[in-house]
């Protein structure tokens, strides 16, 4: 493949990232607006639950109780985890294999270039690979959503998947090693790097060795060093370029990107508000 094949993925990465953050800003606006409307409705529903006869063993109430006990971050990533499980199940269907390899693995030499940059972020062929990634995402979900908020986190996560895939494309074109990549590792590295950058003194531990603890800052340095060595030495166990791309994007975003992108969303939100107000006025 010629280097010119990187033009479309680059434009897709830029366009998708802009759309993701724009959509997240509008989503936050609509969420805040609806929160005011539903406040009294929820208060009334709680009051009715108290005076209404309670059913014991109600499965729906048990599910609601479990859901309400989750943190906002855990509730936010539940949909992401469900999407990954769904795509994992699609890999188990023999009739879907050709479609999965075409659209759910990223490779600059593939027929499909742009959509796999996003879809491969939700794609895992190995159960262990998916379980490890989803465990890390679940573990860091509360911290990252507390840091960014639900809407901004979704925009960062989806953008990170596309950006890390593009970095992987560039590395494959530079080295001439063309092989399909899949997995949420690039996006999760963004989450991990963002949290570790903002909270470098936080204590972390390895899942199988909980007695061994280390600081988040040290863990981030070790991960970057490992992936840099893997990329330089041509290791093929992981997509080290995607990992590095995700980690660097996470570090950049919490240091500079938040101020450059999210803090400057006001003109878009204002335009959306004016459009909504005009449409509401026309509708009476």
Q: Which residues are catalytic?
A: 185, 243
Residues whose CB falls within 8 Å of the CB of residue 160, separated by 6 or more in sequence, listed in order: 186, 187, 189, 190, 191, 246, 249, 250
Query: CA angle, 167 as apex, 164 and 172 as ends, to 5°?
Result: 125
User: What is the DSSP track for 49-109?
Assistant: HHHSPPPTT-HHHHHHHHHHHS-HHHHHHHHHHHHHHHHHHHHT-GGGHHHHHHHSSB-TT
CA–CA dist 171, 177 (Å, integer):
8
Q: Do residues 249 and 17 touch, judged by C-beta distance below 8 A?
A: no
Which residues face 215 on adjacent strands? 203
Phi-psi region of 231 (alpha: psi -120 to 50; beta: other; left: phi over 0): alpha
Cα separation, 225 vs 133, in Å, equals 20
């Amino acid at each position: 493949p010629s280097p010119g094949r990187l033009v479309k993925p680059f434009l897709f990465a830029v366009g998708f990232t802009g759309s993701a953050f724009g959509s997240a800003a509008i989503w936050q606006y609509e969420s805040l607006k609806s929160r005011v409307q539903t406040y009294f409705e929820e208060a009334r529903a709680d009051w009715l639950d108290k005076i209404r006869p309670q059913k014991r063993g109600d499965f729906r109430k048990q599910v609601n109780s479990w859901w309400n006990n989750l943190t906002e971050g855990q509730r936010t990533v539940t949909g992401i985890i469900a999407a990954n499980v769904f795509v994992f199940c699609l890999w188990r269907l023999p009739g879907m294999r050709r479609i999965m390899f075409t659209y759910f693995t990223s490779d600059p030499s593939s027929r499909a270039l742009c959509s796999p940059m996003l879809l491969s972020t939700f794609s895992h062929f190995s159960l262990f690979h998916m379980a490890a990634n989803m465990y890390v995402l679940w573990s860091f979900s509360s911290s990252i959503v507390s840091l960014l908020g639900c809407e901004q986190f979704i925009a960062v996560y989806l953008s990170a998947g596309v950006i890390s895939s593009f970095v992987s494309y560039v590395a494959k074109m530079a080295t001439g090693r063309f092989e399909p990549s899949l997995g949420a590792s690039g996006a999760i590295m963004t989450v991990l790097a963002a949290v570790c950058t903002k909270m470098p003194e936080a204590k972390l531990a390895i899942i199988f060795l909980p007695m061994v603890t280390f600081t988040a800052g040290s863990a981030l340095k070790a991960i970057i060093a490992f992936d840099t060595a893997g990329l330089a030495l041509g290791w093929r166990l992981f997509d080290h370029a995607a990992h590095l791309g995700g980690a660097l994007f996470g570090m950049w975003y919490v240091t500079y990107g938040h101020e450059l992108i999210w803090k400057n969303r006001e003109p878009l939100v204002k335009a959306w508000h004016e459009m909504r107000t005009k449409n509401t006025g026309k509708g009476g």
